[in-house]
């Protein structure tokens, strides 16, 4: 399907919303762009729809940003993974 994000991590992760309330994201989706690539309108539509459904979404420009966002989402830093 046109615009569907490149990478899906269907692992729910809690995020603190304040006041003792947590929200569980159903997972994360990433659109990976390299070089001078830009997200298409279809890709931005998917990102927006999934974000509104509670998914963590991000357009990443290069592998290093993708790696950083994945580690952040999964909170892997607490295990020494960088």
Query: What is the reported pLDDT for 81?
Result: 60
E-assigned strand segments in 1-82 = 7-9, 13-18, 21-25, 28-33, 56-61
Whole-prediction pTM: 0.82
Per-residue pLDDT reduced to its tens digit, 61-80: 999 999 999 998 888 666 66
Query: What is the reported pLDDT for 80?
Result: 65
Q: What strands, in cross-sheet order, belong to the sheet with 56-61?
A: 7-9, 28-33, 56-61
- Rounded to the nearest 5 percent, the helix, strand and coil shares of the chain are 35, 30, 35
Task: Please answer whether residues 63 and 18 qualify as being in contact, where contact means their C-beta atoms are separated by less than 8 angstroms.
Answer: no
Residue 19: which residues within 8 A CB-CB, separation 6 or more?
none
Per-residue pLDDT reduced to its tens digit, 15-65: 766 677 777 889 999 999 999 999 999 999 999 999 999 999 999 999 999
């Amino acid at each position: 399907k046109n615009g569907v994000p490149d990478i899906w991590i269907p692992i729910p992760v809690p995020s603190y919303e304040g006041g003792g309330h947590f929200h569980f994201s159903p997972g994360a989706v990433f659109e990976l762009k390299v070089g001078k690539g830009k997200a298409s309108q279809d890709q931005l539509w998917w990102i927006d729809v999934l974000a509104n459904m509670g998914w963590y979404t991000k357009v990443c420009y290069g592998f290093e940003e993708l790696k950083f966002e994945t580690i952040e989402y999964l909170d892997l830093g607490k295990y020494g993974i960088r």
